[in-house]
Amino acid sequence: MVIGSIIEVTIDGFARGLLFAILGVGITLVFGLGGILNIAIGVFAIIAVIATVVILGTTSNVLVAIVLGIGFVGLLGLGVDRTLLSQVYRSEGEERILLGIFVTLGLAIFLEGILYVYYPLSYSLSHGVPSLGILGISIRGSTQVTIITATIILGLLFIFLQQTYLGKATRTVFQDEMGAELSGIEPRRIRSLIFVLSTVIAGIAGVLYSFSRQVTVGTGFELTIFALLVAIVGGVRSLRGTALAGIFLGLVVTFANWLIGAYVAKVVLFVVAILVLTIKPEDMT
């Protein structure tokens, strides 16, 4: 029944969209706070998967391995923040934006280069959740896990930003750095926290992505592109816009995939992004 297929594709698209959304939010958070466009976000996502696979060599508990893998990526993010990003934060304004782009690009390529040597294969994780059948529509386990996890993350993020002190401090730095400093908030610490948070979110996204397909080191670049497109289309400083843009683009690419085919779907995604960028660009300074 065609309607059943359409519903299944919509649900899949929605799951994909939520995945794009949390990746995009990872970009928006860091850029909004410090003007650094984290091009290495995709690599962080893949490192989480690879770390989990490596840890699964010692323990057989998938959940523990995943938590440790994501934790590893968070630590890596902390290290990068303390060393590289400190250097980038020394610049200001547009110079910092350019510097951020090239330094994170160099970081992404550096990390990929190392990974290619030690972990050149493709990896995937299993979630152990069975498909669900409702009213003749079947939803895959990976789709369920993705939707639930991503929604929880977005929800937690929202609560964090709206209700907690740290979250409000973050929003203050977002809006007016000088004012935040005058209120006794240390922007540098907030930026570190948010950067680590974004790498953890990226790690989770990577793990979710690996539930439904094989990932390689090269997938990292692909995920970065998705994240960048979503963030830019949604407005690099607007979290709500990014989340919505993610869902929108996820649906677009999944439907294009279903209706036309894999390679054209990608072209469609880029064309849609290019169109949106030309018709509705934002003032990013």
Partner 1 sequence: MSAISTFIDGRSRRDYTLIGIAVVLAVLPLLLAGNLTHRWRLFTSLLIFSILAIALNIVFGHTDQLYLFLGALTGIGAYTTALSANAVGLSPWLTLPLGSLAAGLICLIVSYIAAKRRMTVILISILTLSIQLAFMEFFVGARSITGGSTGFNFSGLRIVFIENALGVSSAVVLYYLLLAVFVVILGIYTYLMRSKFGMAFNAIRQDEVAAKSRGVNVVKHKTLAGLVSGLMIGFVGPFYAQSEQYIVPGMFTFEVIDLLVLIMLILGGIRTMLGPVIGAGVLLYLNEVLLHSVLDGFSVWRTATLGLLLMFLFLYFRQGVVPFYEQTVRSKAATLIENRVKPALNRSRE
Which residues contact partner 1 by CB under 8 A? 37, 84, 87-88, 94, 97-99, 101-103, 105-114, 116-117, 225, 228-229, 232, 236, 263-264, 266-267, 270-271, 273-274, 277-278, 281-285
Q: Residue 101 Cβ, how far from partner 1 at the closest point, in Å?
A: 7
Annotate 26-45 with b (16+ C-beta within 10 A) or e (fewer): bbbbbbbbbbbbbbbbbbbb
CA distance 24 to 31: 11
Task: State the nearest-atom distance from the C-beta of 252 to partner 1, in Å.
Answer: 14
Tell me whether residue 92 or residue 94 sits nearer to partner 1 (CB atom): 94
In the complex, the smallest distance separating the C-beta of residue 147 from partner 1, rounded to whole angstroms, is 27
What is the C-alpha separation between 224 and 236, in angstroms, rounded? Answer: 14
Distance of alpha carbon 68 from alpha carbon 53, whole angstroms: 10
Q: Which is nearer to partner 1, 94 or 176 (CB)?
A: 94
Residue with Cβ nearer partner 1 (120 or 155) = 120
Helix (H) and strand (E) counts in the chain: 12, 2
Tell me the closest approach of the beta carbon of residue 64 to partner 1, in angstroms. 30
Please identify, using beta-carbon distances, which residue of 19 and 108 lies nearer to partner 1: 108
Nearest CA-CA partner of 226 in 210, 204, 202: 202
Residue 63 vs 114, nearer CB to partner 1 = 114
How near is the Cβ of 283 to partner 1 at its closest, in Å? 8
Q: At what angle do helices 2-34 and 165-175 cross, to 10 degrees?
A: 70
Tell me the C-alpha distance between 170 and 192, whole Å: 11
Closer residue to partner 1 in complex, CB, 19/273: 273
What letter does residue 57 receive in the DSSP assignment?
Answer: T
Residue 184 has φ and ψ, to the nearest 5°, of: 90, 10
Q: Minimum Å distance from CB 86 to partner 1?
A: 11
Residue 282, SS3 per DSSP: coil
